[in-house]
Chain A
Amino acid sequence: MRTLLVWLAGALSLAGSSQAALASGWNMPVGVTDLSREIYNLHMTIFWICVVIGVIVFAVMFYSLIRYRHAKGAKAANFHENTTVEVIWTAIPLLILVGMAVPATATLKKMYDTSDAELDVMVTGQQWRWHYEYLGEDVAFTSNMSTPRAQIRGDEPFGENYLLEVDQPLVLPINRKVRFLFTADDVIHAWWVPDFAVKQDTIPGFINENWVRINEPGIYRGQCAELCGRDHAFMPIVVHAMEEDDFDTWLAERKEAAAEEALGVEREWQKEELMERGEAVYASICASCHQPDGEGSPPAFPALAGNQRMLEDREWHTNVIIDGVSGTAMPAFRSTLNPVELAAVVTYTRNAWGNDTGSEVQPSTIAQRLGQ
């Protein structure tokens, strides 16, 4: 038993002295918005009220335990009722609670006020990534975790931002009120960035609102907070908050790139081009369920390699990707992917991993199909 205790003490002191302990917080972050600061203060106020009550209550308790020990010959009193005391210790907590409720109510009202936003961002949760759309700006993209699986498996050393890094961060301006519109394509997720004190469920069929006005430029990280299936731990959120000018420049560039992409729908694509693009789309969107090698993980996620129905019926194959399959985990990608990406991924899946249909689908065909 002694060895166990020594071992335990060793483990504890190790934990206390390691680097990460210094870097990590023990407490809620104050955050970088007025509201997150307000919520932090509310949290600390309630915390200290609880500490004071706890100290008083436990002091009386431990005083009694020490002072009135049977072993020391304490003689028990016989009182067992006092209405006055009961009324007092019902009323005082009630007053303390009212005192807590007043500032909480005020803060809550501010959190719910999503009016007068200068920028609207639609956030869509998908298994297991985030899709961001700048409403009215024709800019949209998907954000995937970029931590390599080899790090997770332990084949490579952990990176600095292990599990909290993405391929494309959400970019937001500081000092502007940004309204988020949250929804989901499949199951419920929750978008949470602690530094903004914004956590909101993204629910299929619902649109939730929340908002943020960031005070300082920087990179802020968060995670999905609602259990959403296998890779719940692996859909982080990274927000890059920029000075307003920088943000405007960034947004203009992205708009230009999006317009160029739209032109690509008109032209005839080479099969090699489609395959190359399709491989990238597959890796970022499809591989999390159907696996990089197309073997899937049945029964939930069918194999694509050698899938007879898919290979024989191109029409059906295309429709499944565009419309999803009702009652299964396969979502509709009509609004997440553009015609080029859809055509590319159909072509890729028909010709990868030994699938040798040789057939391809042109973006213009998909655009027509979507237009119907």
Chain B
Amino acid sequence: MTDRPRDVLITGIGLVSSLGEGIAHHLDLFARGPGLQPSIVTEGYEPYFVHALPAMDWSRQIPKRGDQRQMETWQKLGTYSAGLALEDAGIPMDEGVRSEIDMIVAAGGGERDANVDAMVMERARGSNDPGRVINETLSTELRPTLFLAQLSNLLAGNISIVHKVTGSSRTFMGEEAAGISALYSASARIASGQSEICLVGGAFSAERKDLILNFDLAGLMLRDEWRPVSARNEAHSGIAVGSVGAFLVLESADHAAKRSATAYARLVSAVGDRGRREREKTAERFTALLPDNSTSAEETLVLSGATGLADLLDIERQVLADKLPGSPTRAYGTMLGHSFEAQMPAGVALAAGALARGVALPPFDSGEESEANAAPRRAIVTALGHLHGEGVCLVESIAGPSR
């Protein structure tokens, strides 16, 4: 334990989305903006919008076919992104080194076999004993290993197996709050001396009708007409889900210096809260999480993890206008879609990348988002969870050489 909080550096980023893979690729793409188009699939998902993954060569980060077969897409996406982050941080594939790395994963879970589920429903229709149908069908049709692709903590388990990260393995669950808490817990442990280096992040696979069903039972999905997140309103409110894997290597400054690693940026704080969702209460909590405007407004880039739900957008817009007037805001869900557990890690990844390049991201919606007039020196990443949980991360550029 140390008496004074230690600096927490971001020394590796692994980002995979519908736009492609790698933080550099994402930043290069954004450099062509404004006026960028997201990569959205509607076919087969009408009336919904899905930011789907491009074709992936999983073997680049998950070399063994046997390992790939044990995972469903969500786990492959997370394991792949975690591998990218470790590689990007320059951490060798040496068990002695990787066994000292801690890990916190924000995960959902529950990949289904849609064909087996359909078979149960079909057979149950004609039966006066649906319980028996469930027993018989699941016992004979379920692949035994599918369970391992469903368990939330098996993303972390696969990262241990494939990438040999074994210092510790903790999985946080619960949509956006899981991603916020993962960053909070990892940074608090490093700042206090309880950990030196931690792989932290999450993954969300959007191409899952079973999940879209869950979300739309609550009327959460954007339907029929796509708009940028910041342009959604009461009449066009909702979530466009996006496949995202986002992992970061967080490290104490001492640890990074010892292995001569350069950092993208410093994670200054990661905080969260929750409570009842009345407008005033939500606005109060969100306001309290935001840092004071100590840097000039123009040099503060706000990366909003907004879901696309109009009532929350409205609260966020009002609070940001009051507390951080003049800071350019980018709702990155416009480009990546909404990725729940991975949303906050993805925002921090983009923030760190932008700060390291010293370039603000372009407006993702030229109607609602204004051009930046200065290079960013700090970034504020926001998350108002779709039903509950709020979080804010503060990321600052570092003096001297960075990535």
Real complex partners, A and B? no
